[in-house]
Structure 1
Amino acid sequence: MTTNDTESWLRAYAPAPDAPIRLVCLPHAGGSASFWRPVATALSPKVDVVAVQYPGRQDRRHEPFVDDLHELARRVHDVLAALEDRPTALFGHSMGATLAFEVAQLMEPHRPAVHLFVSGRRAPSVQRDESMHLRDDDALLAEMRAMDGTDSALLQDEEIMRMALPVVRNDYRAAETYTWTPGEPLSCPVTALVGDDDPKAAVPEVEAWARHSSGPFAMEVVSGGHFALVDHSDRVLELVTGALEQS
């Protein structure tokens, strides 16, 4: 793993080189590393926040997509394996939550994560029959607007939205074709966040995350939909800070 590999995959928007812990953040389907910029700014310098940039978007737009979460997890893990200077926690939203879990599984034998934060995503063991990635462009655009995870001005720009469709379709394919392989549970604490009106993650489906770790489990239910963590960012930051201080 070279410096260029690390710089390609990880974004540090508010570097905190003296922080005692690192928080690795993984974006949702169609998302990019910049989604986590406010978290990095808010937690620095106490926490060194780095966000993962998936291939095929923004400055990596010329690279091939990865449409398999197990493969994507292996690649992210290889990058993180080169960063062994401090304990590492993981925070993923939506598809990123499943990916964070898979990365944590790979970390477990040698250098376990100290905490796993998951948001807006059902537990890996809970399956849904979803096929949005097979729908036509108009259906996918409607889905993007319904989730409302994109800047409102961009949602009104048809050309920009259609330019984003290949990224979104790829990520939906990765999330919807993911299958969980049963195995030993994680050892780290897990904190789950969910909006009470999230169409992608019902509260009982999120509660099932408790089965995936032998460590403590906590769940926070807030008002809102799939991107409720944005609307309740102060509360989310409070939960993350408290949990990492214990770690």
Structure 2
Amino acid sequence: MTAASVPNASSRTGVEGRRARRTDSPWIRRWSDGAVARLTLICLPHAGGSASFYRSWAALLPPEVELLGVQYPGREDRFEDPMIDSMGELVTALAEGLVPLLDRPYALFGHSMGSAIAWELAHELDRRGAPGPRRLFASGRAAPGTAVVADVHRQGDDVLRAELQRLGGTSREVLDDPGLRALILGTVRNDYRLIETYRPAQRPPLHCPIHVLTGSTDPELGEERSRDRAGGWADLTTARTEVRTFPGDHFYLTPQRREVVATVLRRMDPSLTTGGHTWPSTP
């Protein structure tokens, strides 16, 4: 008989059980115990990215918000896990790992490839009867079905390397190191294959607000910059769509980290950015 089924079981046992369940998925990385959190922010990385891309955000969040970073297989501490290059397979596995963690209101934040995964994930969770996100933050990519796709994953390493240099976010020192470059290009090629072969199905619109975040000089959005900053996302929800443009390129999130996190907090709950909160911050 589990503690949850015993009427007089201590609250401490229940809390410890919830904490245990919140740490046993290989898909999720946490940087706090989330003991007093009342909201959850689930962050999905870009192609070639890992959960640690969002680690610095943890110090900018108040205790009321628990940060969960998604760790795709084939990188960092999941280096030996086979990579997944199919959107359907990835979202199915990720949803299985996330469902037990959706015990409080949550938002999804996806950057670049991660924004498409976030959209697919919201629909997969709905299909399973799980709670839906209160908000979806789509960063650095036009909406599924409207984003321009190429065939970079079929090209040689020189083309792939040039693509990384075009978008920024990968240091020249890393790309100049043969060993590191081989590791990075293998992961990036796999993720590009996923997103470039991805063809979204026709789905009903979501019912949560979508917040579109972009860099002012992001080359990934191409002609969308001059035509529609929302990049087609407004058609994917019955709720409102908001667009916020930050100075910077495709990886504007790094230099604009504080303002991006503050924007996310304001949209999740305005009280999180008003007086009365003190918490550590990173330099």
Q: TM-score, normalised by structure 1?
A: 0.92
Query: CA shift at 1:152, angstroms?
Result: 5.1
Q: Contact (CA 8 Å) 2:41, 2:109: kept in 1 or not?
A: yes
Q: Contact (CA 8 Å) 1:15, 1:49: kept in 2 or not?
A: no
Structure 2 partner of 1:170: 190
Instruction: Label 1:26 to 1:129 Cα distance change in 2 as closer, same or farther (>3 A).
Output: closer
Query: CA shift at 1:128, angstroms?
Result: 1.9
Over residues 93-135 of structure 1, what are the superposed CA-to-partner deviations in whole Å (9 max), with x where a residue is unaligned?
0000100110111223531111101100110120424000000
Corresponding letter in the other structure for 1:154: V
Query: CA shift at 1:198, angstroms?
Result: 1.2
- 1:230-245 pair list within 5 angstroms: 230-245=254-269
Query: CA shift at 1:17, angstroms?
Result: 2.3
Structure 2 partner of 1:115: 135
Query: CA shift at 1:205, angstroms?
Result: 6.2
Structure 1 partner of 2:15: none
- 1:1-247 pair list within 5 angstroms: 6-108=24-126, 110=129, 111-151=131-171, 153-201=173-221, 202-203=224-225, 204=228, 206-245=230-269
Q: Contact (CA 8 Å) 1:27, 1:95: kept in 2 or not?
A: yes
Instruction: Label 1:86 to 1:79 Cα distance change in 2 as closer, same or farther (>3 A).
Output: same
Q: Contact (CA 8 Å) 1:14, 1:44: kept in 2 or not?
A: no
Query: CA shift at 1:3, angstroms?
Result: 5.0
Instruction: Label 1:117 to 1:218 Cα distance change in 2 as closer, same or farther (>3 A).
Output: same
Cα distance in 1 between the residues matched to 2:149 and 2:26: 34
**Runs of 4+ in structure 1 displaced over 6 angstroms?**
none
Q: 5+ residue gaps in structure 1?
A: none
Cα distance in 2 between the residues matched to 1:7 and 1:79: 6
Query: CA shift at 1:41, angstroms?
Result: 2.0
Q: 5+ residue gaps in structure 2?
A: 1-19, 272-283
Instruction: Label 1:52 to 1:222 Cα distance change in 2 as closer, same or farther (>3 A).
Output: same
Q: Compare 5-14 and 114-123 and name the one that shifted more.
A: 5-14
Q: TM-score, normalised by structure 2?
A: 0.81
Residue aligned with 1:50, SS: strand
Q: Contact (CA 8 Å) 1:141, 1:162: kept in 2 or not?
A: no
Over residues 195-241 of structure 1, what are the superposed CA-to-partner deviations in whole Å (9 max), with x where a residue is unaligned?
12211123326431011111121001122211112221122112100
Q: Contact (CA 8 Å) 1:94, 1:121: kept in 2 or not?
A: yes
